[in-house]
Structure 1
Amino acid sequence: MFERFTEGACDVVTDAVGHAGRTGAATVTEEHLLLALFERQGTRASFAFAVLGLAGRRASVEDALRDARRRAGLSKAETEALAGLGIDVDEIVARVEETHGEGALRVAVKPGRTWWPRHRPFAPGAKAALERSLRIAQGRGDRVIGDEHLLLALTARPGVVSEVLADHGATYAALERAMFGEGEGEGSGGPAEAG
């Protein structure tokens, strides 16, 4: 699959690995892919960020991602579902942080040696996003996978990253319109097809 990635898409993956390394993350996640996409310039994804007003709101996106990490990676939808069952996630987070310190529910990073010091595995969600980018490119009839396909893949499945992007106006359909001048259509490899 990686042989079909454009140089820019390969750079996004490499930069995502770098983000994971700088933050001490054990795995490369969808969040790292998104942050790497924010660093690209002169690409379809960067154009879409500009058109949708995300280019100047990176800090807001990062804050929303940080809030989700603070809630142990729960999306707002998951938090609301738990609230419907009478579970107040914000109160639980506050109590745990009161006892154990700020960020106590974040996924712990285990320091230690790996066989390949620069190797960081991809988390299941990030792997799925890379695979979805291939299906999206194929659905669009594109022969290569670019950063635009990676960005669309991040919005194609429910989760924290797609929720944060949607909260900032970057849904699959909005991104597709910004990058390709069209809405989600048959054969586009959109969320229903990218499954």
Structure 2
Amino acid sequence: MFERFTASARGTVVRAQEEAADAGDHHVGTEHVVVALAQDDGVAGAVLRDAGVTAESLRRWLRQVPADDESSGRLDADALQSIGIDLDDVRRRVEETFGAGALDDVPDRTGGRRWGRHKHIPFTGRAKKSLERGLRQAIMLGDTRIGSEHLLLGVLDEGSGLGIRMLRDVGVDLAQLRATAVERSRRSA
């Protein structure tokens, strides 16, 4: 499928992985895809910017709002504290037993991938689903290539990831965003 992506869409996927790495996440979620789309020079980026969305405003939102395990995998330290689990204490105990940095990412025994800025970070199920839905959107619109606008429509179609929650919380009218993306996609074809 990746070979059908435009340069803009490929750049979005790469930027999404970079966003995840920069955030210290071990996955690429719909939230990372949306932040990457906000940086796009193509249709998706223009549509998001016209809706008042910037990559920095989305990053700020991500830093302020704890995510649930299904959408990002990050733990909410306050929620765990409320049930008597202190993450700092857990880290200290693990490091006492297994050594400093035992919870940090390391290569597996076979020399497999290590998470980092230039390494592959896996996509969550929702992010994969949004990419697949982007392909469907391209087909429905009669396009032979998958552009950034199709990726945006795919995220909107997936409809339940952190990317959608983030867009709603920053005040985006999702129905209007979809309509604008479809209209501009047809104009750019």
Is the pair's TM-score, using the shorter chain for normalization, greater than 0.5? yes
| CA shift in 2, pair 1:149/1:169, >3 Å | farther
The TM-score normalised by the length of structure 2 is 0.69
CA shift for structure 1 position 90: 11
User: Residue type matched to 1:28 in 2?
Assistant: V
* 5+ long unaligned stretches in structure 2: 92-102, 185-189
CA shift for structure 1 position 96: 5.9
CA shift for structure 1 position 8: 0.5
Q: Give the number of aligned pairs.
A: 159
Matched, 1:12 2:12: yes
Q: Identify which range, 132-141 or 18-27, moves more after superposition.
A: 18-27
Matched, 1:170 2:172: yes
Q: Which residue of 1 aligns with 2:139?
A: 138
Q: Which residue of 2 aligns with 1:27?
A: 27
User: Residue type matched to 2:47 in 1?
Assistant: A
Aligned equivalents of 2:16, 2:56: Cα separation in 1:
17
Q: Identify which range, 26-35 or 9-18, moves more after superposition.
A: 26-35
User: Residue type matched to 2:152 in 1?
Assistant: L
| CA shift in 2, pair 1:180/1:130, >3 Å | closer
Q: Which residue of 2 aligns with 1:161?
A: 163
| CA shift in 2, pair 1:36/1:74, >3 Å | same
Residues 29 and 123, structure 2, Cα contact 8 Å, conserved in 1: yes
| CA shift in 2, pair 1:122/1:99, >3 Å | closer
| CA shift in 2, pair 1:39/1:50, >3 Å | closer
| CA shift in 2, pair 1:136/1:180, >3 Å | closer
CA shift for structure 1 position 73: 4.5
Q: Which residue of 2 aligns with 1:82?
A: none
The TM-score normalised by the length of structure 1 is 0.67
> The residue matched to 1:152 in structure 2 has which SS?
helix
